[in-house]
Chains A and B, each alone.
Chain A
């Protein structure tokens, strides 16, 4: 594929609002997961909550979109000058030539969960001020983003569980390549809600402590929330050496089970191989793998088998960011894309948090401590329920022939 430039990017999660706090948290190994005190949830688990989401005031003409997911989206868009960058791109290319591709798994479902507690006792009707289309509907966060920037081009939500906001890079890249658009706002936004907390609990997939990816005693996920965005454009001739490029994408389906990964990680393997192929790279070109690494016994086992099948026994340094951010579900792909971009630009491998003893059976070169190292190319894995897989490869411009 033709590489695309991440001309701007930003991330907001429980480890920080925007790039600087996120980078500091990663470099200091700061732990931000906490015992669950969300809403009225009575589960023994840990969560990654973004502080202050409830106090975000929606832009004046956007109050119909008011729900936790769109509040977090707005908070995320306001960091790191990202909004200015999108507006500049819209002026440069035209508001009809900038697409919006956002991943989310649960959108504003929390709003509906709360509305169901406030049904009219006689008629059963939902409250009059509940606006389905602009809050709960899966598209609402892309609709919000498109209107926030007054864009008039194509827009869509990709909602394939935990691969959603990795797959937006692929969908946007295809549309840019057709020439239908010149730039794309891609990202992922997912927020805490009862459906995912009680749902993952029903599957026995919630850890009772801060999640420990790839640990010998890993016992499940910690759910987090996040908003992360990137502005994708075609690279021009005067790229900076530390500019981050999207080099490759790979996507596949397990066709195996609704909520368990393929035990040999077959779909995951195909996604990684395709990503390498589309980037014109070989396994030894990858300097770091940001694993999906949810910390469930089966996910990490299947992913490890897939990584070894592609990279051999001597894998590149690997880690999962979910010990820091929690599993931000539909936002995870975009959050981890930003973490890869920071790792590339600042030359370090973020060690996986909370893991005490790496599971020797998994056989990966899993990094428990931060390490300074020049990185040229990083792979990010995102896999989800329903057997949906996506691998992305990012690289520094200085390593490509474009510079």
Chain B
């Protein structure tokens, strides 16, 4: 007995954070995404995370700093501060450099990896640092769905917003592996998107989204360089949603997710 009714999950976006090759923050990226400025890929610049205590800042890797930067941008845009926000972290892989170092040591004659290397190796390391930096004791989901990680994170965040009737911050971040892993998983650069989602509209609402599962084709970028980025970094699979938001008109966008299972989003500017 298959259910025929189509389920839609609705939420309001109150804040956006974006960092990636050629994208330095959300406000300056909008003109690029709507095509009024050309997209020029350049190495991602991650700001220093002032919020982290000095000891943690020294130990923090790119995935921690990237995730902090995008999330703080989204939180500030929403006019929020220490709100004890439930969070969803989604990473297509963890800290690639740390993973490389551990595997290299374990293949050597000296297998004594350091405690810091080990605790940074857990997939939820960035979530741990983030909760310490933002003093957040609310729940965090830490997810992975390989190339589908953005979609998986979006769905989990929406279930929190809809079922728990709460704000939730989604953070999708990816960082590269060094060689020899790079040849097996060629993620070219750092890229992160953060979305602050809320169950009700507020003065800070940017847009409403209604999300459902679809088999329709995914939206692609007509700009070749943007399309290359979308396909190269899993977090960038969320960029067509950001483009639709930047266009500030009511439209439907389809994101890649798991093979033929994709995510349709009705975007309605508020």
Question: Residues of A at under 8 Å CB distance from B?
Answer: 92-94, 96-97, 105, 109, 112-113, 115-117, 119, 124-126, 130-133, 137-140, 142-143, 146, 152-161, 167, 170-171, 174-175, 177-180, 182, 194-195, 198-203, 251-259, 266-267, 270, 384-388
Give residues of chain B (167-210) contacting chain A, Cβ–Cβ below 8 Å.
179-181, 183-185
Q: B184 to A198, Cβ gap below 8 A?
A: no
- What residues of A have a CB within 8 angstroms of the CB of B1 in the complex? 92-93
B30-38, B42-50, B125-133, B219-227 - the one binding chain A = B125-133
Min CB gap B268→A, angstroms: 20
In the bound complex, what is the Cα–Cα distance between A251 and B114 (angstroms)?
29
Q: B180 to A126, Cβ gap below 8 A?
A: yes
Q: B139 to A251, Cβ gap below 8 A?
A: yes
The answer to whether B104 has its CB under 8 Å from any CB of chain A is: yes
The majority secondary structure among interface residues of chain B is: mixed
Q: B94 to A138, Cβ gap below 8 A?
A: yes
Min CB gap B210→A, angstroms: 12
In the bound complex, what is the Cα–Cα distance between A138 and B142 (angstroms)?
11
A interface footprint on B117-139 (CB within 8 Å = 1, 0 otherwise): 11111111101110110111111
Q: B107 to A254, Cβ gap below 8 A?
A: no
- What residues of B have a CB within 8 angstroms of the CB of A158 in the complex? 141-143
Q: B184 contacts which of A105, A132, A167, A254 (Cβ < 8 Å)?
A: A132
A113-B107, A126-B180 known; A255-B155 Cβ under 8 A: no
Q: Which of A93, A117, A130, A386 has most chain B Cβ within 10 Å? A: A386
Min CB gap A31→B, angstroms: 28
In the bound complex, what is the Cα–Cα distance between A152 and B91 (angstroms)?
21
The answer to whether B145 has its CB under 8 Å from any CB of chain A is: yes
Q: A175 contacts which of B159, B185, B258 (Cβ < 8 Å)?
A: B159
Total A-B residue contacts, Cβ distance less than 8 Å: 222
- What residues of B have a CB within 8 angstroms of the CB of A138 in the complex? 91, 93-94, 123, 144
In the bound complex, what is the Cα–Cα distance between A219 and B113 (angstroms)?
21
- What residues of A have a CB within 8 angstroms of the CB of B111 in the complex? 194, 198
Q: A253 to B140, Cβ gap below 8 A?
A: yes
Can you list 15 A-B pairs, Cβ within 8 angstroms, ordered by A? A96-B261, A97-B3, A115-B103, A132-B185, A137-B144, A139-B146, A152-B260, A156-B143, A158-B143, A171-B159, A179-B3, A195-B113, A253-B128, A258-B125, A384-B122
Give residues of chain B (95-112) contacting chain A, Cβ–Cβ below 8 Å.
99, 102-104, 106-107, 111-112
Q: A180 to B7, Cβ gap below 8 A?
A: yes
The answer to whether B54 has its CB under 8 Å from any CB of chain A is: no
Output the nearest chain B residue to A94 by Cβ-Cβ distance.
Answer: B2
The majority secondary structure among interface residues of chain A is: mixed
Q: B114 to A195, Cβ gap below 8 A?
A: no
In the bound complex, what is the Cα–Cα distance between A35 and B34 (angstroms)?
62
- What residues of A have a CB within 8 angstroms of the CB of B29 in the complex? none
In the bound complex, what is the Cα–Cα distance between A158 and B124 (angstroms)?
9
Min CB gap A41→B, angstroms: 9
Q: B152 to A156, Cβ gap below 8 A?
A: yes
In the bound complex, what is the Cα–Cα distance between A92 and B143 (angstroms)?
28
The answer to whether B162 has its CB under 8 Å from any CB of chain A is: yes
Q: A203 contacts which of B115, B149, B181 (Cβ < 8 Å)?
A: B115
Q: A252 to B137, Cβ gap below 8 A?
A: yes
Min CB gap A327→B, angstroms: 14
A156-B156, A177-B159, A388-B127 known; A252-B139 Cβ under 8 A: yes
Q: B180 to A180, Cβ gap below 8 A?
A: no
Output the nearest chain B residue to A92 by Cβ-Cβ distance.
Answer: B1
- What residues of B have a CB within 8 angstroms of the CB of A154 in the complex? 152, 155, 213, 257-258, 261
Output the nearest chain B residue to A278 by Cβ-Cβ distance.
Answer: B164
- What residues of A have a CB within 8 angstroms of the CB of B132 in the complex? 255-258, 387
Give residues of chain B (45-62) contacting chain A, Cβ–Cβ below 8 Å.
none
Q: A258 to B164, Cβ gap below 8 A?
A: no
Top 7 A-B pairs, shortest CB-CB distance? A386-B128, A199-B118, A159-B123, A251-B139, A174-B159, A138-B144, A94-B2
Q: B124 contacts which of A92, A152, A203, A384 (Cβ < 8 Å)?
A: A384
- What residues of B have a CB within 8 angstroms of the CB of A254 in the complex? 131, 137
In the bound complex, what is the Cα–Cα distance between A174 and B120 (angstroms)?
29
Q: A182 to B3, Cβ gap below 8 A?
A: yes
A139-B146, A180-B9 known; A388-B94 Cβ under 8 A: no
In the bound complex, what is the Cα–Cα distance between A402 and B134 (angstroms)?
41
- What residues of B have a CB within 8 angstroms of the CB of A94 in the complex? 2-3
Q: B181 to A385, Cβ gap below 8 A?
A: no
In the bound complex, what is the Cα–Cα distance between A200 and B119 (angstroms)?
9
Q: B163 contacts which of A133, A140, A177 (Cβ < 8 Å)?
A: A177
Min CB gap A292→B, angstroms: 16
